[in-house]
Amino acid sequence: MTTILALETSCDETAVAIVTDRQIRSSVVSSQIDIHQRYGGIVPEVASRQHVITIGAELEAALGQAGLGWAEIDAVAATCTPGLVGALMVGLTTGKTLAMVHQKPFLGVHHLEGHIYANYLAQPDLQPPYLCLLVSGGHTSLIGVRDCGDYQTLGQTRDDAAGEAFDKVARLLGLGYPGGPVIDRLAKEGNAAAFPLPEGNISLPEGGFHPYDSSFSGLKTAVLRLVEKLKAEGADPLPVADLAASFQATVARSLTKRAITCALDHGFTTIAIGGGVAANSALRRHLQEATAIHNLRVLFPPLSLCTDNAAMIACAAADHFNRGHRSDYTVGVQSRLDLTRVMELYG
């Protein structure tokens, strides 16, 4: 049994958690959404400053919630890539300092590997191989999970990530930030078939389309042109619920089609979902319906583990720790690092 204390500060959530293998002992998350809403998006310098202000209280709360002392912590972990460099520095520096002061091993963790491991917290019996659909504000990928640290990128977005597209369309419709939750809520009141929208296929040089890669910039532009057309025709107010429902259904349909095709082509019987967009109700519904048709298993983390949290980071770190992996204190932050290179974080 391995108990890990982990910190997550890659973007705009300050999180600390303690996990024993695949069991959450404590998980504390402080969101900065209210702070960044006034700017219409995340301001990196503001995010970093808020992490500094918040992380001490989060650490104290996580230890108190778990009822554990440092003698019962086996190692310390922190997200070191990918993310906002200044924000990552806060968590990584704090984690290294705690590890040195308390003489514990340290592990730097890849944020996207954490999103994969959120599924292990919800389904402790889950074992590779399986396909993971990672969908968040910054990433949209289809990952073949072969083992701890052994990943193959099978599909990815060529431009905007799915979550980024939600934010941009929400801003276009005057719905504010963040876009995902408000579009999901409004879509329930709208007609998803009201406006046909393009899914964003990626053409191949030899003809046809890439079966797994996505594109969302064209979809965003199509919504913009549609809004301009409706306004020119005198639509007042705009049919925002129908626009939200049509956009959301297009994203969900596109992601589902690619995930199912990829799973069938590569012989995966399980599809696990990770990232903030995994909380989207339309995506969950489309995947549940499609996987049932093809006799596939689909797994979703609980909503609390879809968005950024430190429990998923601790879970990933525990698996690496149990395999003898450790990070050197020279490990630094990186704004980007391909998931397939995750083992570079360990000596």
Strands of the sheet with 140-147, listed across from one edge: 150-156, 140-147, 130-135, 270-274, 297-299
Rounded-to-integer distance, Cα 180 and Cα 330, Å: 37
Output the pTM of the full model.
0.95
H-helix segments, 188-280: 217-232, 240-266
Phi first, then psi: give them for residue 318, nearest 5 degrees.
-60, -40
Q: Specify the residue for token string 């340290």.
A: 106
Residue range(s) in the chain whose domain bears CATH number 3.30.420.40: 3-118+306-345, 128-303
For 339, residues 6+ apart whose C-beta sits below 8 A from its C-beta are 110, 112, 113, 141, 143, 151, 153
The whole-angstrom distance between residue 288's C-alpha and the CA centroid of its chain comes to 19
pLDDT value, residue 41: 84
Homologous superfamily of 3-118+306-345 = ATPase, nucleotide binding domain (3.30.420.40)
Q: Specify the residue for token string 């009141």.
A: 189
pLDDT value, residue 34: 84
pLDDT value, residue 76: 98
Homologous superfamily of 128-303 = ATPase, nucleotide binding domain (3.30.420.40)
Question: Residue-wise pLDDT tens for the chain (347 aa)?
Answer: 999 999 999 999 999 999 999 999 999 999 888 888 888 888 989 999 999 999 999 999 999 999 999 999 999 999 999 999 999 999 999 999 999 999 999 999 999 999 999 999 999 999 999 999 999 888 899 999 999 999 999 999 999 999 999 999 999 999 988 999 999 999 999 999 999 999 888 878 888 889 999 999 999 999 999 999 999 999 889 999 999 999 999 999 999 999 999 999 999 999 999 999 999 999 999 999 999 999 999 999 999 999 999 999 999 999 999 999 999 999 999 999 999 999 999 98
DSSP letters along 134-163, please? EESSS-EEEEEEEETTEEEEEEEBSSS-HH
pLDDT value, residue 39: 82
pLDDT value, residue 189: 96
